[in-house]
Amino acid sequence: MRRAGDARGNTRELFKLDAALVNDERVGESEQSGAKPVGGASKSFYLKTFGCQMNVYDSERMMEQLTAQGYTETPTLEAADLVILNTCHIREKAAEKIYSDLGRIRDIKNARSREGKATVVAVAGCVAQAEGAQIVARQPAVDIVVGPQGYHRLGELIGRVQRTRAPVVETDFTENAKFEQLPTVRGRQTPSAFLTIQEGCDKFCTFCVVPYTRGQEFSRPVDQIVAEARRLVEAGAAEITLLGQNVNAYHGAYDGSRADGPPASLADLLGALAQIDGVVRLRYMTSHPRDMSDDLIAAHRDIPEVMPFLHLPVQSGSDAMLSAMNRRHTASDYVELIGRVRQARPDIALSSDFIVGFPGETDADFEDTLRLVRNIGFAQSFSFKYSPRPGTPAADRDGQVPEAVKHERLQRLQGELEQQQLAYNAGFIGRQVLVLVERTGREPGTLVGRTPYLQLIHFDGDAALIGQVVPVTVTASRQMSLTGVIGGV
Ligand code: 5AD
Ligand code: SF4
C-alpha cells in the first residue's frame, strides 16, 4: 500500500506541504464537453496526500474504496481517470501549491478531453472543508469537493458527477457516519499501520484551524477500533499508530451499539489493543498536555507494547504566549508533567511542536522557549513560523511579528533542536536496540526499520526480516537516522 513516502516520524516534511488559499487569481474554464464518462475496464486514479498522518490514513481508506470499485492506482497524472488531492489547511504555504497543482491538473484534463477521455478531479481534506464551493469557483476544473467527514461517499459523488456533469460539494459534518460506512476490509499493510481513533478538537487554540475543519471531538468505540486493528494485523501490520488530532482526549464507548456506558480512556484502549495477537508495538499521536492523564502515563510503564515515545506539543515556553494561544497550561505545568512521564518511563523519547512569532511574541518570550527546550531535551521536534489562518482568533490580533523576525527565531530554535536530536542519536552508538523492520533500503541487501524511540535505522539484512523485530547494534548516527548491524558488532 502506498504511503506518503517516509512521512511517518517526519511530520516536518509533511507539514511543509500544508495548504491554504492565498492566490486570488481566477483560472480559465476547463473543457469538459465531448469527454467520455469515466468507466470501462481500466479506470485508474492518482492520489496525492498533503499534511498530517490523519490525511495519510484517510487516503488509504479512499484508496480501499476505489480499489473495491475496480480502480487501480497510477503514479502518472496524465493516465488518471480520477485525480484526488487530499489537502491540508493548517498553515498557509501549501495552498498555493494546491492551486498550482490544480492548474497543472486542469491542463492535463483539457489535453485528455481533446483525446476523448474524461477526468474527474476531486479535492478532499481540510482545504475542501474550509473552502467548499470557493474551490470550484476559483478552479472550475474541480468536479468534487469533499471534506474529511464525507469521503466514505466518494464512489457515490463520482457517479453523480458522471451523470450530471455538475460539480458537487460535500462538506457536511454528518455525525461521523463515515467509520460505519467504510468497507471493513483493510488493504495490504506495511508492518507499521495507522488507525484513526479520534477526530476533531474542542480545545480551540487561537492559532489553529482544526476545530473548524475537523469539527468537534469524536471518539470511535473500542469494539470498532479493536476489530479494525485485528484486520490490520491480518493484513500484515505489526505496529499500530493510533491517530487523533487530540488523541489522548480519547473517550470512546466500549460497545459501539451502547453509547451510554462509562467511556474507555486511551490507556484502556491501549490495554485492549495490546491483547491482540500480532500487535507488537503501539504508538499514538498527537496529544495535548492537558489530557495526559495518570493512567496514560502509567501505560508507558506497564504495557510493554506501548513504545517509549511521546509527541506532546508545547508550542511555546512563554506563559504569556501559552495564555494568548489558549493552551490552558503553563511552561512549568509542562515541565512538571514531563517529570512525571520520565519517572514512569525514564528512557522515553520526547517530541514537540513549536510555533515562533505568535502575535505579541517578544524577544523575552522567545528566550523562554529556548530555555524550555534546553531544560527538557527533545529527541526530535517540529517547529513552525506562526501562519495567520483566516477565521481563527489570533489571525486578526495586533502585534503580528514581522517575517524577518519569525525567520530569525525559527533558525535559532531549529539550530537548538537539531543539536539536541544529533546528541540524542549519538548517545545510541554502541547500544543494541530492537528494530521493527519496515522495508528494504535503497541499496540492494539493505533494510530500514524503526527503533522503539522512532528513530529511522539503516542496516544490512535479508528482506525476509520485514515485519519482524530484530536486535541491531548502532554503529553510526546522523540527525535524522541511525546506522547499525544486526546482532552485535
Ligand atoms: N501557524 C503555525 N503553526 C501552526 N500549527 C498549527 N496551526 C498553526 C499556525 N496557524 C502547528 C502547531 C501544531 C502543528 C500540527 O502545527 O505546532 O501542533
Ligand atoms: Fe489545534 Fe491541537 Fe490546539 Fe486542537 S489542541 S486546537 S488540534 S493545536
The whole-number pLDDT of residue 178 equals 82
Ligand 1 atom 18 nearest Cα = 353
Nearest bound ligand to CA 207? Answer: 1
Our mutation pick for probing the ligand 2 site, out of 52, 210, 353, counting the most ligand atoms within 8 A of Cβ, is 210
Written as one string, the DSSP assignment of 138-203 is H-TT--EEE-TTTGGGHHHHHHHHHHH-S-EEE----TT-HHHHS-SPPPP--SEEEEE-EE--S-
- Residue pLDDT, tens place only, 301-346: 999 999 999 999 999 999 999 999 999 999 999 999 999 999 999 9
Distance 205 CA to ligand 2 centre (A): 5
Q: Say yes or no: CB of residue 401 within 6 Å of ligand 1.
A: no
Taking alpha carbons only, the member of 84, 125, 101, 91 closest to residue 16 is 91
The whole-number pLDDT of residue 30 equals 32
Which segments in the chain show pLDDT lower than 50?
Answer: 1-40
Rg, Å, the chain Cα set: 23
Nearest bound ligand to CA 325? Answer: 2
Give the count of beta carbons closer than 10 Å to the beta carbon of residue 78: 12
The whole-number pLDDT of residue 184 equals 75
Q: Which residues line ligand 2 (CB under 6 A)?
A: 201, 203-205, 208, 210-211, 245-246, 288
The whole-number pLDDT of residue 50 equals 94
Distance 152 CA to ligand 2 centre (A): 25
Ligand 2 atom 1 nearest Cα = 208
The ligand 2 atom nearest the CA atom of 209? 1
- Residue pLDDT, tens place only, 9-46: 333 222 222 222 222 222 222 333 333 434 445 799 99
Helical packing angle, 294-302 and 266-274, nearest 10°: 20
Q: Could you tell me which residues come within 8 angstroms of residue 165 by beta carbon, excluding any fewer than 6 positions away?
A: 32
Distance 354 CA to ligand 1 centre (A): 8
Tell me what percent of the chain is helix, strand and coil, each rounded to the nearest 5. Answer: 35, 20, 40
Distance 14 CA to ligand 1 centre (A): 12
The whole-number pLDDT of residue 164 equals 93
Written as one string, the DSSP assignment of 282-297 is EEEE---GGG--HHHH
